Amino acid sequence: MQYIADLHLHSKYSRATSKQLDIPNLEKWARVKGLNLLGTSDFTHPKWIEEIKANLTEDETGILKTKTGMPFIMQTEVSLIYTDRDKGRRVHNVILAPSIEVSEQITEYFLSKGRVDYDGRPIFKIPCVDLTESLMEIDKKIEIIPAHIMTPWFGLLGAKSYYTSVEDAFKDKSKHIHALETGLSADPSMLWRISSLDKFSLISNSDSHSFWPWRMGREATLFELKELTYNNIIKALRTKEGLTGTIEVDPAYGKYHWDGHRNCNVCLSPKETKKLNGVCPNCGKPVTIGVEYRVEELADRPMGFRPEGAKDFKRLIPISEIISKLVGKGVATKTVWQEFDKLIKAFKTELNILLDVPEEELKKVTDEKIAEAILKNRQGKIEVQPGYDGEYGIPIFDGKDKPRPKVEIKKKQANLSDFS
């Protein structure tokens, strides 16, 4: 059976999350999206672990289920901020656990290092190598997955973490790292250019802070398993057998794909950033270096290289985003919801609509322009003006929408007229 999994989520106890982000809503909207395996999120938080116990039943397979059968895996994320070799490091890691009992042992370990009650994604001054050593002592079935590895602020290989390889951060404990999360601003085709990453499974998750379908499941990992068990999921992550691919957004849609300064309304391609020596033309401060630039720094292969045995992936923009752009209304407005609901009523799940429903069937239910945009999305042909410095990218339709300006110059000394 195929499992479409989102294994990096957050609860209502994480910062900047929906206060309705509970397990019933996760289940409800996962079914609408077309997901059939979720991470529990935030298991270190004392209030959230009680909600997990109240809403999910655990069995010997390591899978937890709701009363109606939606499967979950114990999952959390931690933020590690520490100094290594005189440089400040900031790394987010997703952690999967084989049981509630093991997750509580993990929490006890973190309590020896600090607090866990203030945020669903707590912060610790623990180096990656020490974290891995300690968790492997608890249970070798624990899986540690560096999150959104190329993003600038908290990605393992991002510009602000300064690491250049998994081994650089995890040292002799890198043997316990088997999978890497691509993040919204990168996809497998970008990471294939870095040969040191070939041995790792590449997975995708939403890192969602809400349950809405334009957030949860916007990125996901595909598994083909004879039986859904925690051990089978971990085996797929560690061997790549049973891991069949990923669903990604266009990397340009991610909030850190290109470089720039949000407050200055300056968005730069890597080429432009290099010409400006990494300095914002408006405020004169260093720009936030995005994922495309960072990949180029680390790449030892040309664009378009595909390693042998690499898993397939699909680039998809959420349907609500498509409808929103085409009708000119906000993504959460009544107009967009009505069109979305009409499609779901006819075709059951969003991922079914995005991946499988034939053109003629779509046109029977929705506006022709929306149907055509869904097909164009399926083919990866929707242009996206890149996101930068915390701003999401903007899908462009029909050539009528003007992309966000790459640079709005306030200081005359910066001349970008020769940029292509």
Angstrom distance (rounded) from CA 52 to CA 73: 11
Angstrom distance (rounded) from CA 141 to CA 101: 13
Angstrom distance (rounded) from CA 256 to CA 326: 25
Whether 218 and 322 have beta carbons less than 8 Å apart is answered as no
pLDDT for position 228: 98
Alpha-carbon distances of 60 from 23, 65, 228, 250, rounded to whole Å: 21, 12, 11, 38
pLDDT for position 417: 32
Closest CA to 366 of 393, 391, 346: 346
Whether 236 and 247 have beta carbons less than 8 Å apart is answered as no
What fold characterizes domain 2-253? TIM Barrel (3.20.20)
Q: What residues does each domain of the chain span?
A: 2-253, 318-381
**110-162 pLDDT, tens per residue?**
999 999 999 999 999 999 999 999 999 999 999 999 999 999 999 999 999 99
pLDDT for position 24: 98
DSSP symbols for 259-285: EEETTTTEEE-HHHHHHTTTB-TTT-S
Angstrom distance (rounded) from CA 406 to CA 386: 9
* Burial of 334 from C-beta contacts in 10 A (0-12 / 13-18 / 19+): exposed
How does strand 312-315 pair with strand 243-248? parallel
Specify the 3-state DSSP secondary structure of 78: strand
Task: For the chain, list residues with pLDDT below 70.
Answer: 398-420
Whether 23 and 248 have beta carbons less than 8 Å apart is answered as no
Angstrom distance (rounded) from CA 252 to CA 274: 19
For the chain, the straight-line distance linking the first and the last C-alpha, in angstroms and rounded, comes to 47
- Quote the pTM value: 0.94
Residue 37, H or E segment:
strand 37-39
Phi, psi of 295, rounded to the nearest 5 degrees: -60, -40
pLDDT for position 397: 83
CA of residue 372 relative to chain centroid, distance: 27
pLDDT for position 401: 56
Instruction: Give 91's strand partners.
Output: 80
pLDDT for position 402: 55
pLDDT for position 405: 54
Q: Which residue has the tokens 């997750």?
A: 103
Angstrom distance (rounded) from CA 408 to CA 410: 7
Closest CA to 324 of 314, 309, 338, 307: 338
DSSP 160: T
Closest CA to 145 of 160, 166, 163: 166
The amino acid present at 297, given as its one-letter code, is E
Alpha-carbon distances of 5 from 176, 184, 187, 303, rounded to whole Å: 22, 16, 17, 28
Instruction: Give 268's strand partners.
Output: 259
Specify the 3-state DSSP secondary structure of 366: coil
Integer-rounded Cα Rg, in Å, for the chain is: 21
Angstrom distance (rounded) from CA 173 to CA 167: 8
Instruction: Show Cβ contacts of residue 250 under 8 Å, excluding neighbours closer than 6 positions.
Output: 187, 315, 317, 380, 382, 384, 393
Instruction: Show Cβ contacts of residue 399 under 8 Å, excluding neighbours closer than 6 positions.
Output: none
Phi, psi of 40, rounded to the nearest 5 degrees: -70, -25
Angstrom distance (rounded) from CA 247 to CA 189: 12
Angstrom distance (rounded) from CA 171 to CA 347: 48
